[in-house]
Structure 1
Amino acid sequence: MKKKKLITTHPAIIAVWAALIAVASLLPAFPLIGGTGGTFSLGNALTPLSGVLFGPFAGAIASAIGAFLGQLLAPNTVILGPLQFILPALAALFAGFAMQKKWYLAFAMYVINMIAFLSLPVGREAYIFPLVVYTPPLIAILFGWFVAKDWISSSNRAKMLVAVFCCALAGTHVDNGVGNVWATIMFGLPKEVFFSILAIAPIERVLFALGSAIIGTPLLVGLPKISIPVGPALEEEEE
């Protein structure tokens, strides 16, 4: 009987990826709308991809290190203070769980994010916000869970791209959901802020996940060919 053996990602590879995230933080994507200041960077597309490539825990470490260094290099991206790097680490963690087909964990975090936001007074006033903004990741989670759970290792590149997109969007949602609650508590955001970003917020997250898929799919295909296991290749069968 064959079973799966986990392959450990070399620390040097994690360090290189963390450095890429840090450098990408210098490349602005678009400004953050909503009055808290700051900008999104291209690093937002790389952090969930860490989990897809290196697994949940190694990916979370790479994202945490890269995001922390990015905060030092690009303080304009810091909105929630010095501990903000926790959010991209969570994005990588849950994108990695999704890559490992543990979609139930991503769904559980979705439910937690929804309950946490609606438990806030402003969340109940702006209840339409999570119903709109959190719908794309919910669709991605359910599609990945019940339809595309094996697509991440498919030889069909289009299927693989869709799977990476779903994993990345699931991870990005954790970053977004926890960040929304964190920012609301820290800044006392009024409901008008959430109404002002109602149309743009889901588009932003979908674009980041799409960026992850476009970058990540060739890496999932190419890196194992040069003896760098990533994604599903981190597991091999043994007798």
Structure 2
Amino acid sequence: MDAKMKLGIFLVLFSLVSLVLFNVKLFYIVGSESKYFTMFQFIGPIGGGLFSPLIGVLSVLLVELLANINSGIPLDALKLVQMFLPMVFAAYYFGAIKNNQKLTFVLPVLGMLLFWLNPIGREAWGYPLLWLIPIVAGYFSKNLFARSLATTFQAHIIGSVAWLYATGMAAPLWWGLIPVVLFERTIFACGISATYIAFNTLLEAVSALTKTDFSFMNIEKKYALIKL
């Protein structure tokens, strides 16, 4: 079996696991009675690290497309931005940040500007200051938790700006969300880190026990808990 076929098989398996986790609810998004975060927040971004940034993006798109088809909810331009772009960019960022530090500040700065251009955003001026966190964390991307924290905040930026322009949520609610965001993004960063460690450990163990060549994937052996 050649490397391309192995890559295709593992991409399908990874996407299937991601699709299952897409349907495991964590908690509702504040301001919405129907939208919620799922465990896809933990696994979606790491495809960019395990495979490559572009393949990670393809995996996210595949999972989100299948999930949307399954839900039967029609897509419009706004739903496309809210549903697809946050995790797409998170997957790309998680895989690319180690080799492209410029990604660290581009989206946070753009997000802050777009937020403050909105009248409600100017009233809630302190909320986008949260996006200084991924700028700082991104410069410590060799640390898995910092990399994961920067990644989940990149997704948060796109989701927040889209939510602001879509709903016009009142400024006091944005101010009240600041501690909630700090808590939820810390949880997501822990989840991304733990999931990445779990996959690296599993792949390293399978590689050692079956003598399978996983050179077509980006296994970071330092994150494998079991070294055989």
Report if TM-score (shorter chain) is over 0.5.
Answer: yes
Q: Are 2:157 and 1:177 aligned? A: yes
Look up the SS of the partner of 1:134 in the other structure: helix
Q: Is the 8 A contact 1:137 1:173 kept in 2?
A: yes
Give the alignment's TM-score, normalised by structure 1: 0.76
Describe the shift of the 1:75–1:53 C-alpha distance in structure 2 as closer, same or farther (beyond 3 A): farther
Give 1:227's match in structure 2, choosing from 180, 188, 213.
213
The residue that corresponds to 1:187 in the other structure is: 167
Q: Is the 8 A contact 1:122 1:190 kept in 2?
A: yes
State the shift of 1:138 in Å. 2.8
Q: Are 2:46 and 1:66 aligned? A: no
Map 1:131-146 → 2, pairs under 5 A: 131=129, 133-144=130-141
Q: Is the 8 A contact 2:140 2:147 kept in 1?
A: no
- State the AA in 2 paired with 1:114: M
Matches of 2:177 and 2:213, distance apart in 1? 44
- State the AA in 2 paired with 1:227: D
Give 1:33's match in structure 2, choosing from 30, 33, 44.
30
Structure 1 unaligned blocks of 5 or more: 1-6, 149-162, 234-239
Q: Is the 8 A contact 2:56 2:91 kept in 1?
A: yes
Q: Are 2:78 and 1:92 aligned? A: no
The residue that corresponds to 2:147 in the other structure is: 167
Look up the SS of the partner of 2:57 in the other structure: helix
User: Percent identity, aligned pairs only?
Assistant: 21
**Aligned-residue RMSD, C-alpha:** 2.6
Look up the SS of the partner of 1:189 in the other structure: coil
Q: Is the 8 A contact 2:48 2:96 kept in 1?
A: yes
The residue that corresponds to 2:109 in the other structure is: 111
Give the alignment's TM-score, normalised by structure 2: 0.79
Moved segments of 4+, more than 3 Å: 71-76
Q: Is the 8 A contact 1:26 1:73 kept in 2?
A: no
- State the AA in 2 paired with 1:88: M
Instruction: Map Cα deviations across residues 37-83 of structure 1 (whole Å, 9 max, x no partner).
Output: 4111001111111112112110011111112223344679x9x5255
Look up the SS of the partner of 1:30 in the other structure: strand
Q: Is the 8 A contact 2:94 2:147 kept in 1?
A: yes
Look up the SS of the partner of 1:199 in the other structure: helix
The residue that corresponds to 1:158 in the other structure is: none
Q: Are 2:16 and 1:14 aligned? A: no
Matches of 1:139 and 1:36, distance apart in 2? 33
The residue that corresponds to 1:127 in the other structure is: 125
Instruction: Map Cα deviations across residues 196-222 of structure 1 (whole Å, 9 max, x no partner).
Output: 311111211121121111111232344
Give 2:45's match in structure 1, choosing from 44, 48, 55.
48
| Number of equivalenced pairs | 207
Q: Is the 8 A contact 2:108 2:132 kept in 1?
A: no
Structure with the greater relative contact order (CA < 8 A, sep ≥ 6): 1 or 2?
A: 1
- State the AA in 2 paired with 1:101: N
Matches of 2:131 and 2:33, distance apart in 1? 20
The residue that corresponds to 1:213 in the other structure is: 193
Q: Is the 8 A contact 2:104 2:134 kept in 1?
A: no
The residue that corresponds to 2:54 in the other structure is: 57
Look up the SS of the partner of 2:102 in the other structure: helix
